[in-house]
């Protein structure tokens, strides 16, 4: 294991970053958001076709790259750094992980190519450590009724993967209603998904804890990317912005805050890398499935999500403050990052939910 | 040919075949040094094999059941003096000092801080005046851990008062047994005297005890300080070890002390301890080939904050017991120990963590300026000869 980035990972990062530098600059993202169609599906197709990001987690025999959580994490860092409006987390991470877990073998091949996009129909606010609310019912084993709120990526999904109890159902998007609601996160809006006698097929088992813990541990890397962009953008700004005939970044009151933020980000990087490294073993065969390995993996993901959530929010908030007036304006893209940071703090288990899980995972029991 | 893990294991096995760990401790350690198994990244002949730094872990693992160093009392020698001597020492100095430093036959202390020069170390006033082949040193040093059992010290003194403060310093090895060296214990808030004041009066040091060029003392001292910060903040710990381990152990053993508020705070600190540990592990991976950079300052900063918060929580958690204290009697401590003794002691000792080895404020400046590239505050002292500075 290593907490550093391998050469292969750095190459993957470089190709994603180059493409995003070309096609997904923050001002372009802001324009797209204003157009009412935040997702850039052309960019998503390019990312999938040219770099193969959609199939990173998919085993090679199903047309994927057979890569691991480590590579996925690097892509998430870059997508976070660009607040890129593409359904990578929702389709290539959460939905793909659910399909792998369910043992599905066909749809996953379509996902791997990026031709088909899926979304896991759970609330983004769902916690890995609580049962999902039972708002959808199944009759005759194949007719779904009910609604699920706050689903991310549903508006660009061709298929929805719907957990009902411990079973995962596949429902085609044309058979459900997807209503995008005004969302705090402008670059990954949420939607209400309504099922009215929607036909669905049971495809296998679903375990909320393992899928969402996996997603949360990797979301930490996206949060790292968000925090890194905020930190470096703010750093450039305070070196250039002059007040009192000096760069504002020369004042100790500012420098000390920046040093603390940097230290938070350094630790976020270590935590996110550690989670990605341990989660990578999750796609390996049975050897790594003993209780201790699972516990170590869940703990690493919980630590990373608890820490990186708060760091991303804190760095984004400090960035707004350190930008002064311009940081409060719509025209500066900083707010896209603040909104993403705050939304992902809530997503897939709040920091508090992950810390509570540590009471068991790290053997720190609460009062009787 | 580069050494790998297997080659190191073979060397250790060959060494153990010729040296009985159950025999004389000192003989064993000396032989280990001579076999290049002291610090494998040091050059051959100086306790090392010129191997990658991370292979030291292999040696430590293989030799875990053999006589060990006493890291508390040897900390300054191992963590600060040794890398400085290696980098700036002459061949004679390296040969003379490194072996007994490593085996612990000779203990080292650090004569840097002065009553008038703490954070602004470069303004220090201890003078070293050239007299033939010797230097005559006069001044007062403070916060000198372990001076009372040290054979040698690393010393920074002013050799030129007519140039700006950073340029007039020279770095020496000070003979702590030389006439004119007087060590007085300095009582701390813990009640004991881990530190000392050291008075230097007409102390004569041969020019062969100078480390680095005349006037280059500030640069030499930077090497020491970078290593010090890594030594304080970067020590490897296992998951859940160190200060958080002490608190967690008590937490598990004493359910009657638990409250919801303490639980939330403990979980939060446990996460912080874990991410700090991981960052240290990651930093060591980065360093395994090179020298510690300013990033080490960040680790020391987080270590200080965390230790203070954890030891404070530990004391608060104990309620009535926390009102007591194990022992206020004035005594000299044998070694620097952040984790020893009672909860009250640990709480008080941790207050020093954000002061020693660079205050947290200075470390934030270092991170801001050298890592983030932010401009320094306007300086009034940079181009003024030291003797003309207001004091």
Tell me which chain B residues have a C-beta less than 8 angstroms from the C-beta of A356: 267
pLDDT tens, A54-92?
999 999 999 999 999 999 999 999 999 999 999 999 999
pLDDT score of B299: 86
What is the rounded CA–CA span in Å between residue B148 and residue A346?
56
Q: Is residue A125 included in any domain, yes or no?
A: no
CB atoms within 10 A of CB B188: 17
CATH number at residue A196: 2.40.110.10
Helices then strands (H, E): number in chain A?
A: 11, 10
Min Cα–Cα distance to chain B from A247, Å: 8
pLDDT tens string, chain B, 391 residues long: the values are 568 899 999 999 999 999 999 999 999 999 999 999 999 999 999 999 999 888 888 999 999 999 999 888 898 999 899 999 999 999 999 999 999 999 999 999 999 999 999 999 999 999 999 999 999 999 999 999 899 999 999 999 999 999 999 999 999 999 999 999 999 999 999 999 988 999 999 999 999 999 999 999 999 999 888 777 665 555 667 888 889 999 999 999 999 999 999 999 999 999 999 999 999 888 888 876 566 666 677 888 999 999 999 999 999 999 999 999 999 999 887 766 677 789 999 999 999 999 988 899 999 999 999 999 999 988 888 889 999 998 7
Last residue of a domain, one of A85, A116, A147: A116
Q: Do B282 and A273 touch (CB under 8 A)?
A: yes
Q: Do B275 and A3 touch (CB under 8 A)?
A: no
**Residue A44 shares a structural domain with residue A149:** no
CATH number at residue A82: 1.10.540.10
CATH number at residue A306: 1.20.140.10
**Residue A355 shares a structural domain with residue A245:** yes
Q: H/E element holding A215?
A: helix A208-240
CB atoms within 10 A of CB A285: 7
**Residue A356 shares a structural domain with residue A220:** yes
How many contacts, defined by CB atoms under 8 Å, are there between A and B?
128
**Residue A186 shares a structural domain with residue A231:** no
Q: Do A262 and B258 touch (CB under 8 A)?
A: no
In order of their start, the domains of chain B are 1-68 (no CATH), 221-371 (1.20.140.10)
Question: What contacts B162, CB < 8 A, 6 or more positions away?
Answer: B168, B385, B386, B387
Q: Is residue A124 included in any domain, yes or no?
A: no
What is the rounded CA–CA span in Å between residue A113 and residue B123?
65
Min Cα–Cα distance to chain A from B51, Å: 19
Domain residue limits at A142:
136-205
Mutation target to probe the A interface, by most A beta carbons within 10 A, among B254, B272, B278 is B278
Q: Please say if the pLDDT value at position A286 is more than 60.
A: no
Min Cα–Cα distance to chain A from B308, Å: 16
**Residue A192 shares a structural domain with residue A315:** no
**Residue A251 shares a structural domain with residue A350:** yes
**Residue A353 shares a structural domain with residue A280:** yes
Collapsed DSSP state (helix, strand, coil) of residue A197 = strand
Give chain A's domain count.
3
What is the rounded CA–CA span in Å between residue B199 and residue B181?
6
Averaged pLDDT of chain A: 96
Last residue of a domain, one of A205, A229, A245: A205
**Residue A232 shares a structural domain with residue A295:** yes
Q: Please say if the pLDDT value at position A368 is more than 90.
A: no
Tell me which chain A residues have a C-beta less than 8 angstroms from the C-beta of B273: none
Tell me which chain A residues have a C-beta less than 8 angstroms from the C-beta of B365: 252, 255-256, 259
pLDDT tens, A1-41?
789 999 999 999 999 999 999 999 999 999 999 987 899 99
pTM for the structure as a whole: 0.92
**Residue A14 shares a structural domain with residue A111:** yes
């Amino acid at each position: 294991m290593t907490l550093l980035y391998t050469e292969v990972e750095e190459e993957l990062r470089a190709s994603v970053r180059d493409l995003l530098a070309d096609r997904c600059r923050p001002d372009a993202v802001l324009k797209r958001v204003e157009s009412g169609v935040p997702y850039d599906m052309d960019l998503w197709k390019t990312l999938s076709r040219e770099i193969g990001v959609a199939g990173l987690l998919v085993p090679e025999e199903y047309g994927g790259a057979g890569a691991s959580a480590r590579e996925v994490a690097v892509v998430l860092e870059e997508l976070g750094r660009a607040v890129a409006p593409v359904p990578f987390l929702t389709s290539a991470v959460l939905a793909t992980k659910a399909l792998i877990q369910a043992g599905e073998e066909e749809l996953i091949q379509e996902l791997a190519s990026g031709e088909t996009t899926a979304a896991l129909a759970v609330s983004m606010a769902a916690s890995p450590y609580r049962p999902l609310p039972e708002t959808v019912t199944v009759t005759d084993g194949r007719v779904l009724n009910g609604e699920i709120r706050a689903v991310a990526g549903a508006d660009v999904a061709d298929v929805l993967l719907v957990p009902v109890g411990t079973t995962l159902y596949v429902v085609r998007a044309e058979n459900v209603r997807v209503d995008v609601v005004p969302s705090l996160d402008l670059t990954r809006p949420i939607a209400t998904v309504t099922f009215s006698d929607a036909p669905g097929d049971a495809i296998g088992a679903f375990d909320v804890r393992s899928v969402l813990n996996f997603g949360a541990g990797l979301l930490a890397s996206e949060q790292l990317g968000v925090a890194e962009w905020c930190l470096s953008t703010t750093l450039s700004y305070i070196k250039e912005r002059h007040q009192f005939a000096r760069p504002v970044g020369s004042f100790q009151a500012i420098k000390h805050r920046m040093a603390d933020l940097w230290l938070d980000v350094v630790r976020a990087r270590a935590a996110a890398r550690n989670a990605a490294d341990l989660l990578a073993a999750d796609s390996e065969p049975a050897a790594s499935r003993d209780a201790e390995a699972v516990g170590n993996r869940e703990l690493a993901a919980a630590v990373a999500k608890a820490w990186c959530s708060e760091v991303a929010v804190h760095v984004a908030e400090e960035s707004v403050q350190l930008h002064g007036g311009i940081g409060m304006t719509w025209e500066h893209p900083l707010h896209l990052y603040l909104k993403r940071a705050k939304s992902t703090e809530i997503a897939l288990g709040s920091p508090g939910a992950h810390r509570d899980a540590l009471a068991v995972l790290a053997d720190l029991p609460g009062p009787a | 040919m580069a050494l790998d893990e297997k080659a190191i294991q073979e060397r250790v096995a060959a060494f153990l075949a010729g040296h009985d760990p159950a025999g004389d401790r000192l003989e064993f350690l000396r032989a280990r040094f001579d076999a290049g198994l002291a610090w494998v990244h040091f050059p051959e002949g100086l306790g090392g094999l010129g191997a990658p730094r991370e292979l030291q872990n292999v040696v430590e693992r293989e030799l875990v059941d053999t006589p060990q160093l006493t890291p508390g009392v040897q900390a300054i020698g191992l963590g600060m003096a040794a890398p400085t001597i290696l980098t700036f020492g002459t061949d004679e100095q390296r040969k003379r000092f490194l072996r007994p430093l490593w085996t612990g036959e000779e203990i080292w202390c650090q004569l840097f801080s002065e009553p008038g020069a703490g954070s602004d170390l470069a303004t220090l006033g201890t003078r070293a005046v050239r007299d033939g082949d010797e230097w005559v040193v006069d001044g007062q040093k403070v916060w000198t851990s372990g001076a009372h059992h040290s054979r040698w010290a690393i010393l920074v003194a002013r050799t030129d008062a007519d140039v700006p403060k950073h340029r007039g310093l020279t770095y020496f090895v000070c003979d702590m047994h030389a006439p004119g060296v007087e060590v007085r214990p300095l009582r701390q808030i813990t009640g004991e005297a881990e530190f000392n004041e050291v008075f230097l009066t007409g102390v004569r040091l041969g020019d062969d005890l100078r480390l680095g060029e005349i006037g280059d003392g500030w640069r030499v001292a930077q090497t020491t300080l970078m290593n010090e910060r890594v030594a304080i903040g970067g020590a490897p710990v296992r998951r859940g070890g160190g200060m958080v381990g002490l608190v967690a152990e008590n937490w598990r053993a004493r359910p009657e002390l638990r409250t919801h508020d303490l639980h939330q705070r403990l979980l939060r600190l446990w996460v912080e301890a874990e991410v700090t540990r991981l960052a240290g592990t990651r930093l060591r991976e980065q360093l395994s080939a090179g020298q510690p950079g300013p990033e080490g300052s960040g680790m020391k900063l987080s270590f200080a904050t965390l230790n203070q918060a954890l030891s404070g929580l530990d004391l608060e958690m104990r309620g009535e017991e926390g009102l007591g204290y194990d022992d206020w009697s004035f005594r000299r401590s044998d070694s620097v120990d952040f984790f020893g003794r009672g909860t009250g002691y640990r709480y008080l000792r941790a207050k020093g963590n954000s002061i020693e080895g660079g205050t947290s404020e200075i470390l934030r400046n270092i991170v801001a300026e050298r890592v983030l590239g932010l401009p320094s505050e306007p300086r009034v002292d940079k181009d003024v000869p030291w003797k003309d500075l207001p004091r």
